[in-house]
A and B are shown apart, each in its own frame.
Chain A
Amino acid sequence: MTELQEPNSGATPLLEARGLSKDYGDTRALDSLDLAIAPGEVYCLLGPNGAGKTTTINLFLGFVAPSAGQALVSGLNVSTHDRESKRRLAYIPEQVMLYRNLSGIENLEYFAALGGQGSLGRERLVEILVEAGLDGKAAGRRVSTYSKGMRQKVGIAIAIAKKADALLLDEPTSGLDPTASNEFSALVERLRNRGVGVLMATHDLFRAKDTGTRVGIMHYGRLVTELSTAEIGHADLERIYLEHVRDNGASP
């Protein structure tokens, strides 16, 4: 069984946005986002394209600088504690892109080492890849032969190997078949049970209801509503979502 982070019992949220805003020229991509994700919580950001989901994730990763407000990881301001905050984060993009000429093991070894895990043995690397759902036989093959689902699993393996406190997922199941999506959800569930806080941007309402503990609906850069998934059904979520994102023809 792969070692995972023990649940964080402290009061400090693993991921926190305080009045977080981002402008691109005259366009406000994110508007005063306030958000806190506790250990063991899976927060799903829903919203149409351009709602600000990816911008939020990029702000937590320090990939873009906020125009106002703060993005905090375990209480550390990302803008001033870039490396320390990244040590506590794992990130799985919509398309996990790896070095095509290297094998899954070699890619995992590289990114795990960059993440601060030192040199893990081959046996351990294969173990992590299998834990992430990759067929052990495929682990040594070049990534250029992998499907998208297999690459996503390597991405998950990188996150597992990093033993991160928080996980940022940017539409991770987009383009995956239902089986692969289910496997992915099961894995997120396992990480959640071990105290990892997860922020997942997704278009998949079903997956959000199924995997998430809370759901936030974004529209034009604003968090327009927050819901507890335990209190609503699939149909309710769809209805509420459509009510909030129905475009009235102008951005606020």
Chain B
Amino acid sequence: MTARTVLRNEWRLLMADRPLRIALGLFVVLLGYALTNGVVWLRFQERTVEATKSGNVERASALEQELEVIEAGGQPFSPFADPRSPLVLGGPSGSQTAVLAPGPLTALAIGQSDLLPYYYDVNVYTNESSFHQNGEVENPLNLMVGRFDLAFAVVYLLPLLVLALSFNVLSEEREQGTLALTLSQPVSARNVVTVKLAFRALLVVGIVLGVSLLGALATGGFGSPDRILLWSFTVVAYSLFWFMLAAWVNTLRRSSAWNATILVGAWLVLVVVLPAAINAAAGLLHPLPSRVEMITAQREASNEAVNRRSELLARYLEDHPEMAEGVVADEPGLGALSWAATDAVNRRLEEVAAEHDARRAEQIALVRRYRFLSPALLAQEVLLDAAGTSDARFAHFQSQVRAFAEQWREFFVPAILADEQMNASVPANVPRFGLADEGSTDVARRATVPLAVLGGLLALVSAAAGVGLGRVRGAD
């Protein structure tokens, strides 16, 4: 009875409070805008993925046709790109694009998918520099703030709305004098405030989940109910953390203005300052090698390799005796010499990339260690994982592309070294990239720790709020 009475009164108070209704309306508009952004990005990514897939087929088909024409006595379409050469068929002209399809809830969380490559052109020249382009060289936290999407709205704006709705949930009652009249009735402050917060939580979470489900419905996300469940659970836990924090601050018996200052300060620290500080610490303690260093290394290695191609080929064959069959190092073909230079460049780049990767791994380890300090980082991590746009999924994709590039080289390099001619049957037999995407179990396993910590933080502030509310009396 008390719960229904308080809920009804809260609804009336909300309906009578114009600024609050405007704030709620504005939040809904922002969520709508965030969702639209996500859907626009998703459609763009889907179109790109389709284009790359059809590009693969078209390129293979065109090369196959050209090879058939040549085998029938015709000439290559370009004397500089004869598809009979394995360096051409296995090079950029015949490259295959490895694609990462959008995650199940990409429309809700673009995450890093606009920064990290979701497709790679794989050919014999694919090397470490191919994997160190775009924004990936940046600090991992820099990548976390992307487009204005639902995840951004949830992590950054939702706490502000929660605080706007609850910073004075008890202090206002005290200040306007209704607390004494309320607590002179046979009710406890804990029950009344809990119901008041529950009303606000239902309102906020209902709006966010409503828009989220609408987005999932419009973009086929309902095919992954487990991800929707994970998303929803995170939204609820994160919202409740902020509600409980506000409840606890309200029990400190200070003014509404004081509560507002403290809570906005908490938002600033937990959502903005701490992530930025962790970011700065990661960059300061484990600085990444300069991108210029990688480019310089590539150029130097290229120049040196061109000058010492014959020597490099001999060394390559010493290192790879299995590739030496039929190759005469003293009379190498142009392809073999070219490949020797390419391989030398690749090796130099691998050294630079290894250093970069080691530093980046240290940065990620630092960020992962200290992310527990910020519920915002924890929530964002799980939301991106649920959406399928986390850096872990991109790393998983990239490692498979690396393996595929190796497979591609193993297919073409022997032919390059042996100076073999390709024929029309080859395009149909080149390796194909098939992504083994992450399963729900992988995602659930990754989400367990951040969700458990978020749950722990929620339990902590809930307990503090519960104890504080138990002490509230009408004469406060």
Contacts and interface: CB of A to CB of B under 8 A. Distances in A.
Which residue among A86, A98, A114 has the maximum number of chain B CB atoms within 10 Å of its CB?
Answer: A114
Which residue among A83, A113, A158 has the maximum number of chain B CB atoms within 10 Å of its CB?
Answer: A113
B182 interface: yes
Nearest to B180: A93
Contacts of B178: 97-99
Interface string B369-384: 0000000000000000
A102 B13 contact: yes
A63 B13 contact: no
Contacts of A100: 176
B225 interface: no
B186 A83 contact: yes
A96 B186 contact: no
A99 B188 CA distance: 19
A140 interface: no
Contacts of B5: 110, 113-114
Given A96-B181, A97-B178, A64 B475 contact: yes
Given A63-B183, A114-B5, A114-B187, A93 B177 contact: yes
Contacts of B188: 82-83
A111 interface: yes
B475 A58 contact: yes
B185 interface: yes
Contacts of A84: 186
A91 interface: yes
A44 to B, nearest CB: 20
A236 to B, nearest CB: 34
A109 B467 CA distance: 30
Contact of B181 (A64, A106, A111): A111
A75 interface: no
Contacts of B183: 61, 63
B9 interface: yes
Contacts of A98: 178, 181
Interface string B2-38: 1001101100110011000000000000000000000
Interface in B178-196: 178, 180-188
Given A58-B474, A100-B176, 6 more contacts: A61-B184, A63-B473, A98-B178, A114-B6, A155-B181, A162-B185
B284 interface: no
A102 B178 CA distance: 12
A158 B178 CA distance: 13
A161 B2 CA distance: 16
Interface string A85-123: 011011101011111111000100011011110100000
A99 B473 contact: no
Contact of A101 (B13, B474, B475): B13
Contacts of B16: 101-102, 142
Contacts of B72: none
B436 interface: no
28 contacts: A58-B474, A61-B183, A61-B474, A61-B475, A63-B474, A82-B188, A83-B186, A83-B187, A83-B188, A84-B186, A86-B184, A86-B185, A86-B186, A96-B177, A97-B176, A97-B178, A98-B181, A99-B176, A100-B176, A101-B13, A102-B13, A113-B1, A114-B5, A114-B185, A116-B1, A142-B16, A155-B181, A158-B181
